[in-house]
Amino acid sequence: MKQTVKGKGDSMNPFVEKAAKALWEAELNRQPIEPLTQTYESITVEDSYAIQQQVKAWKLDSGRRIIGRKIGLTSQAMQNALGVHEPDFGSLFDDMLLPEGSLVPYERFLQPKVEAELAFIMKHDLQGPAVHFQDVIQATAYVVPAFEIIDSRVRDWKIKIQDTVADNASSGALILGSRGVSVHDVNLRLIGLVLERNGEVIDTAAGAAVLGHPATAVAWLCNKLATFGEGMKAGDIVLSGSFTRAYEVKPGDVYSAHFAGVGTVQVGFGSK
């Protein structure tokens, strides 16, 4: 049965907590739920960020630690597909960081996909608003090749923007390459990617696929976080957005991402 979401300032908290609890239990019990957009017919993106913030608070209370942020929906194609005009973001927690080259248990996830992207490692705190991509360059210690394993607590990936925002931007895990490169030594916009699955090339792209420049995506994040009274801290990991579309993972798959001038990152998935 669909339920109506009450507007801002109109007893929204009971709805937010109920929806947050459903996502929290879906993750704990490894049982996906129906889309929130089906259950709550008037849910807004603002509502969804409130849900995300509530689940984040519970995770922090349980002892988990935020190590950075992820940016999603950085390609025009994905924004068009979900009918939005800007990216979204989620939080990265300490238990999401997996060793490079590791064999990840497939059963750790519900319905995983992989995205190849650059991770920015912050040298200084950075707080919006009015952050420009050049501010990001100056505040970044280095970039490393990364895989984000995205996952959804929503059944069959039947998501709209409200569903993915509420679900921590469909985050799952991340793997960082072992080599870091100064942002001053590479042209982030022109960095080329070759993505392989099981030794075969399946996609190629360049940094310009990420909002025209990966640092532009990070600047957007800083300014968006400012609306929540938050910012980025020195040492934070920031996943700046996928160079390509997300690729579905099957047990036994091995993915490798080769970023020109930056390095390679690899992850494998164990059989069920």
Based on its alpha-carbon atoms, the radius of gyration of the chain, rounded to whole angstroms, reads: 18
pTM: 0.93
By C-alpha distance, which of 60, 86, 39 is closest to 241? 86
What's the confidence (pLDDT) of residue 8? 42
What pLDDT, on a 0 to 100 scale, did the predictor assign at position 272? 63
Q: According to the model, what pLDDT value does residue 60 have?
A: 97
Residue 229 neighbours by CB under 8 Å, 6+ apart: none
What tokens were used for 264? Answer: 């390679």
Check: CB of residue 27 under 8 Å from CB of residue 52: no
Mean pLDDT taken over the chain:
93
Task: Provide the token pair at 109.
Answer: 């996830």
Assess contact for 232 and 91: CB atoms under 8 A: no
pLDDT at position 85? 87
Residue with tokens 């036994």: 252
Residue 266 phi, psi dihedral angles, 5° rounding? -140, 145
Burial of 114 (0-12, 13-18, 19+ CB in 10 A): buried
pLDDT at 13: 56
**Chain segment 101-139, per-residue pLDDT in tens:** 889 999 999 999 999 999 999 999 999 999 999 999 999
Nearest to 111 by CA among 196, 33, 24: 33
Query: Quick one: pLDDT at residue 178?
Result: 92
Average pLDDT for runs of 10 along the chain of length 272: 42 77 95 95 93 96 98 86 89 96 92 97 97 97 98 96 97 96 96 98 96 97 96 98 95 97 96 70
